[in-house]
Amino acid sequence: MPSLATIRAIAILVILAAVAIGASVVTHKVDNARYLTLELKVADAADKAKAQAVAKQKELDEVAQAAAVKEAESRQKIITQTVTTIKKVNHYVQDRSRCITVGLVRVLVAAARGSDPDLLPSTAGQSDDACAALGWRDLASWIVGNFGVARQNEGQLNGLQDALRARSAVKP
């Protein structure tokens, strides 16, 4: 039979082991609670980030929608003005003239300005069939210049479209 000292030593070892096991269980529970708290904080941060991203995207969508509506309205106005001016070509421009007529110049100026030829002031003492003080070379230069400006605008718009496509490809 073991001696009393041996039994005490074993009892002390058992008590120490029980305390160590109890301490490690408590430590594990505290660590687990901290871990769960961190997981909740990460989930909350992710939810907030998603909400901010959705709000930002909604704002970008509203801006893009407003710009699209404005551009469509502007385009429709230009189309209407152009169609109206084209309908008035027969009134102001005669095919039988060998010169550039005042009426042709009036129609072209109105088209370039986006206005109605009827609203432009008439040249004093000249009918729309009269020859304008403008030669064919001047007219060609003027038209080519306008085409050049239109192509510059096209390039600028294409660049803006490319930038918008690139921007929309990036996740916010």
Distance CA 28, CA 16 (A): 18
Mean pLDDT per 10-residue segment, the chain (172 residues): 84 85 87 90 93 85 77 79 80 78 89 87 82 85 84 83 77 60
- Give the C-alpha distances (Å, rounded to integers) separating 26 from 12, 30, 31, 47, 78: 21, 6, 9, 32, 78
Which residues are bridge partners to 101 per DSSP? 131
Distance CA 164, CA 170 (A): 10
What pLDDT, on the 0 to 100 scale, is given for residue 172? Answer: 58
**Cβ neighbours for 127, distance < 8 A, ≥ 6 positions apart:** 102, 103
Distance CA 49, CA 70 (A): 32
Which letter does DSSP use for residue 101 in this model? B
What pLDDT, on the 0 to 100 scale, is given for residue 170? Answer: 65
Closest to 117 measured CA to CA, from 90, 138, 136: 90
Closest to 108 measured CA to CA, from 69, 130, 129, 82: 82
Model-level pTM greater than 0.85? no
What pLDDT, on the 0 to 100 scale, is given for residue 60? Answer: 78
Paired tokens of 99: 């010169």
Q: Give me the helix-helix angle, 102-113 and 4-87, nearest 10°.
A: 160
What pLDDT, on the 0 to 100 scale, is given for residue 48? Answer: 95
Paired tokens of 28: 């594990």
Whole-number mean pLDDT of the chain? Answer: 84
